[in-house]
């Protein structure tokens, strides 16, 4: 690019490419939802070029993956007398696989909350200590001021 007379930093080029990529993704997502009518579709002169560049990029066009953290539903079997007996889940292993992740999340959250509460308790204690120190300081200053006023209000001949 220097041969053509352009002086651009690599940071500026990186930022430009990231912005153009995000514009491409935004237009791609918008145009996917407007397929039926075509109304509201966005046209961009560089869209075809970016389509060629990012056609196989998984960060732009992710592979469809279906996952759920919910346990599978159990089928309900209705007998002739109208009662519905309990049935076991068909995929018990997937239910067990979800619970350790959730429990570890909750444990980490609980530990984090306990730490936050400890920090808050320490802050409150420090604020109390500061308040006590300020009250003591104010009392001392008040005594000094009273003594100074006594000194100023005393008759001039009694001053030494």
pLDDT at 143 > cutoff 90:
yes
- In a domain? residue 158: yes
Q: In this predicted model, which residue has the larger pLDDT, 68 or 128?
A: 128
- In a domain? residue 71: no
DSSP, collapsed to helix, strand or coil, labels residue 12 as helix
Q: How many Å apart are CA 136 and CA 124, to the nearest integer? A: 19
Asked if 61 and 101 sit in the same domain, the reply is: no
Has this prediction a pTM greater than 0.85? no
Asked if 46 and 100 sit in the same domain, the reply is: no
Asked if 42 and 102 sit in the same domain, the reply is: no
- In a domain? residue 80: no
Asked if 57 and 96 sit in the same domain, the reply is: no
**Residue of 28, 17, 34, 32 lying closest to 51 (CA atoms):** 28
Asked if 42 and 99 sit in the same domain, the reply is: no
Condensed to tens digits (0 to 9), the pLDDT of residues 37-84 reads 667 788 888 888 888 887 777 666 666 666 666 666 666 666 666 555
Phi/psi of residue 41, nearest 5 degrees: -70, 150
- In a domain? residue 14: yes
Q: How many Å apart are CA 75 and CA 84, to the nearest integer? A: 10
- In a domain? residue 20: yes
Q: In this predicted model, which residue has the larger pLDDT, 73 or 106?
A: 106
Domain count, the chain: 2
Do 97 and 67 contact (CB within 8 A), yes or no? no
Do 19 and 45 contact (CB within 8 A), yes or no? no
Asked if 102 and 38 sit in the same domain, the reply is: no
- In a domain? residue 102: yes
**Exposure string over 35-50, b if 16+ CB within 10 A, otherwise e:** eeeeeeeeeeeeeeeb
Do 95 and 72 contact (CB within 8 A), yes or no? yes
Percent of the residues in the chain that have a pLDDT greater than 70, as a whole number: 66
Place of tokens 């690019």: 1
Residue 133 banded pLDDT, cuts 50, 70, 90:
very high
Asked if 3 and 61 sit in the same domain, the reply is: yes
Asked if 157 and 96 sit in the same domain, the reply is: yes
29, containing H or E segment: helix 10-33
Range of the domain at 14: 1-65
- In a domain? residue 70: no
- In a domain? residue 144: yes
DSSP, collapsed to helix, strand or coil, labels residue 97 as helix
């Amino acid at each position: 690019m220097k041969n053509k007379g352009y002086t651009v930093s690599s940071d500026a080029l990186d930022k430009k490419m990231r912005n153009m990529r995000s514009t491409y993704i935004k237009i791609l997502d918008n145009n996917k939802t407007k397929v039926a009518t075509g109304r509201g579709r966005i046209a961009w002169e560089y869209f075809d070029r970016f389509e060629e560049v990012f056609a196989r990029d998984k960060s732009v066009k992710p592979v469809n993956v279906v996952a759920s953290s919910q346990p599978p539903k159990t089928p309900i079997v209705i007998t002739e007398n109208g009662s519905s007996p309990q049935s076991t889940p068909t995929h018990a292993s997937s239910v067990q696989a979800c619970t350790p992740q959730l429990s570890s999340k909750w444990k980490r959250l609980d530990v984090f909350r306990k730490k936050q509460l400890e920090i808050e308790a320490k802050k409150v204690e420090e604020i109390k200590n500061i308040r006590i120190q300020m009250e003591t300081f104010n009392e001392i200053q008040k005594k000094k001021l009273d003594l100074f006023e006594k000194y100023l209000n005393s008759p001039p001949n009694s001053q030494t």
